[in-house]
């Protein structure tokens, strides 16, 4: 086995975190053309969207945890001498990073910190950290044993949870402030940050009761402390109202927010919900969705007002209140009298919002009418960034975690086959959104499953032109969004111009004003049939047509 232990460095500062790589091992049992690398370190689980490379060749990551990352590269061991092991990714809200780790011919004798260029003894620093970590683990074990003993004396599991919660808070509040490190003129500078603020407010008592009924409590899920103080909203400044919807992670409530200047603002509060077994999971992903929104400032993109936390320190994402709800429910409601001009305007607004997101190097990955919100003035706000990814480095995201539902009816062929998502995957989804608008909310491929959808798309079939939809909108815009070659699909900047051009052409037409300004009724689902296969002579009665 080859073991590399030597200096490594990062291209971007990763402040306030101490992430280490200890060594890179290459087991001797590798095949001649493939080499398996085992990278040992600390706190790898803080990293997101990791991409590993050796000599600029992709090293496919098979698994990674807190202290170990494994990957395999199509390269012999001999070819790796004097190479650079590159680790790229994102550290929560601190942005992208790149870490270069040299693989020398000869083994070095020391281990270095990725982040700090310190002159202190690294081995002494590691021993100190290990000692502190051991003390903390031992303390938690003692607390756990004490609570476990008390559990057998209690009647209700809720009382047990309260015991664990109280003791853990007591422990955390009495620990010295966590020391976070940053680079300052080549020396180590300690920055003090508190673990958390525990509030007592009755506005979210219902959420507290739900949390009190949980079977487990994980203090490490408390991420509220890492949020920028400018985004933090005290719980006492929120007055919870009625439930207005449910999302992928939890429930959305209407609320009143008292801002710092004393104004009362109508807001929406998105809270995380428990699973059927009563356990709350995915808090990190839920909080990430809110922090993604903090990067955006555009009239057609949902705005993050701030993030609060419940009495049990579960995050609450606070956004603008959207009086008209999501776009799909709005367009399927027959009481909302809409013109085709209104629907085209919605499409133009979405294209402008997506142009902004792509300029910011974000792939949405879940663009659909249900994930676009409407305010009281019918301004569209693109929302639901639970699947979004920052791809400022490579322009492509490959799914690693597959435990969350994916919107297969809005996905292009390359995403369905290879789970690869580029900017042009959002363009394909935009074409489906236009089809949703033109049908006033019908479900695409309504009766088809994953296998049938993929087979039909690969054979050249696409969704049928809806009744009443102008030819130029369908052929000039939608069909171009659904081109099989992603490179041939337009950008959202081009789509904005194309949609505005469609409106201009309709205005100049003989019956254009009547279509744009007249009431546009929802297309009847009974006017479509959904065959498992279609021929090249598909009639207008089918929901799928052949390219």
Give all domains of the chain, ordered by start, each with its CATH number.
20-118 (2.60.40), 221-320 (3.30.200.20), 325-398+406-525 (1.10.510.10)
Q: What is the mean pLDDT of residues 216-233?
A: 63
Count the neighbouring beta carbons within 10 Å of the beta carbon of residue 132.
12
Top pLDDT among 51 and 510 is at 51
pLDDT at 401: 41
506-526 exposure pattern, b = at least 16 Cβ within 10 A, e = fewer: beeeeebeebbeeebeebeee
pLDDT at 419: 81
The helix (run of H) or strand (run of E) holding residue 502 is helix 492-508
| Residue closest to 95 by CA, chosen among 369, 391, 329, 307 | 391
Top pLDDT among 244 and 25 is at 244
Instruction: Report the relative pairing of strands 238-246 and 48-54 from DSSP bridges.
Output: unpaired
What are the start-end ranges of the H helices in 294-422?
327-332, 340-359, 413-418
pLDDT at 32: 58
The answer to whether residue 93 scores a pLDDT higher than 80 is: no
Top pLDDT among 497 and 513 is at 497
Top pLDDT among 369 and 177 is at 369
Tell me: is residue 270 an annotated ligand-binding position: yes
The percentage of the chain sitting over the pLDDT mark of 90, rounded to a whole number, equals: 30
- Residue 155, classified by CB atoms within 10 Å of its CB into exposed (0-12), middle (13-18) or buried (19+), is exposed
The answer to whether residue 188 scores a pLDDT higher than 50 is: no
Catalytic residue among 326, 366, 384, 426: 366
Residue 224, token pair as written in the block: 């509220």
What is the distance between the alpha carbons of residues 290 and 228, in angstroms, rounded to a whole number? Answer: 12
pLDDT at 516: 87
On the CB side of 90, CA atoms within 13 Å amount to: 15
**Residue 396 in 3-state DSSP?**
strand
Q: What is the mean pLDDT of residues 114-129?
A: 51
pLDDT band at 248 (very low <50, low <70, confident <90, very high): low
pLDDT band at 315 (very low <50, low <70, confident <90, very high): confident
pLDDT band at 290 (very low <50, low <70, confident <90, very high): confident
Reply yes or no on whether 366 is catalytic.
Answer: yes
């Amino acid at each position: 086995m080859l073991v590399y232990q030597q200096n490594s460095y990062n291209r971007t500062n990763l402040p306030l975190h101490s992430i280490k790589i200890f060594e890179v091992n290459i087991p001797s049992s590798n095949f001649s053309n493939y080499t398996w690398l085992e990278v040992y370190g600390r706190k790898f689980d803080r990293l997101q969207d990791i991409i590993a490379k050796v000599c600029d060749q992709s090293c496919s990551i098979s698994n990674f945890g807190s202290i170990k990352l494994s990957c395999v590269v199509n390269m012999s061991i001999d070819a790796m001498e004097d190479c650079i092991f590159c680790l790229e990714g994102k550290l929560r809200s601190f942005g992208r990073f790149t870490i270069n780790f040299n693989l020398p011919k000869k083994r070095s004798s020391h281990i270095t910190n990725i982040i700090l260029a310190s002159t202190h003894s690294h081995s002494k620093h590691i021993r100190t950290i290990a000692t502190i970590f051991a003390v903390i683990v031992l303390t938690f074990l003692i607390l756990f044993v004490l609570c476990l003993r008390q559990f057998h004396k209690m009647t209700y599991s809720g009382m047990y949870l309260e015991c664990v919660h109280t003791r853990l808070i007591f422990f955390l509040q009495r620990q010295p402030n966590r020391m976070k490190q940053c680079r300052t003129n080549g020396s180590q500078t300690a920055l003090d940050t508190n673990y958390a603020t525990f509030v007592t407010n009755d506005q979210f008592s219902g959420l507290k009761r739900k949390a009190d009924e949980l079977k487990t409590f994980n203090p490490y899920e408390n991420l509220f402390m890492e949020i920028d103080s400018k985004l933090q909203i005290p719980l006492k400044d929120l007055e919870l109202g009625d439930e207005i919807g449910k999302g992928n992670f939890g429930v959305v409530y209407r609320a009143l927010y008292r801002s710092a200047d004393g104004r009362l603002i109508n807001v929406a509060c998105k809270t995380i919900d428990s699973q059927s077994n009563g356990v709350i999971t995915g808090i990190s992903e839920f909080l990430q969705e809110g922090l993604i929104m903090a990067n955006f400032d555009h009239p057609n993109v949902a705005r993050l007002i701030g993030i609060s936390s419940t009495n049990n320190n579960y995050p609450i994402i606070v956004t603008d209140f959207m009086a008209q709800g999501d776009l799909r429910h709005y367009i399927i409601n027959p009481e909302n009298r809409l013109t085709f001009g209104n629907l085209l305007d919605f499409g133009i607004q979405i294209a402008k919002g997506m142009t902004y997101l792509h300029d910011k190097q974000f792939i949405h990955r879940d663009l659909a009418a249900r994930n676009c919100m409407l305010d009281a003035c019918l301004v569209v706000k693109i929302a639901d960034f639970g699947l979004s990814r920052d791809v400022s480095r490579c322009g492509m995201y490959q799914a690693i975690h597959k435990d969350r539902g994916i919107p297969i009816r809005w996905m292009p062929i390359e995403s369905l086959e290879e789970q690869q998502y580029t900017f042009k995957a959002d363009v394909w989804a935009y074409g489906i959104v236009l089809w949703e608008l033109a049908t006033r909310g019908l479900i695409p491929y309504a009766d088809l499953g994953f296998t049938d959808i993929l087979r039909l798309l690969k054979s050249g079939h696409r969704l049928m032109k809806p009744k009443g939809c102008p030819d130029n909108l369908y052929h000039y815009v939608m069909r171009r969004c659904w081109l099989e070659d992603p490179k041939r699909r337009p950008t959202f900047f081009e789509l904005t111009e194309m949609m505005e051009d469609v409106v201009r052409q309709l205005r100049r037409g003989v019956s254009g004003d009547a279509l744009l300004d007249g009431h546009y009724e929802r297309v009847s689902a009974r006017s479509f049939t959904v065959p498992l296969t279609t021929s090249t002579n598909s009639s207008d009665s089918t929901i799928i047509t052949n390219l």
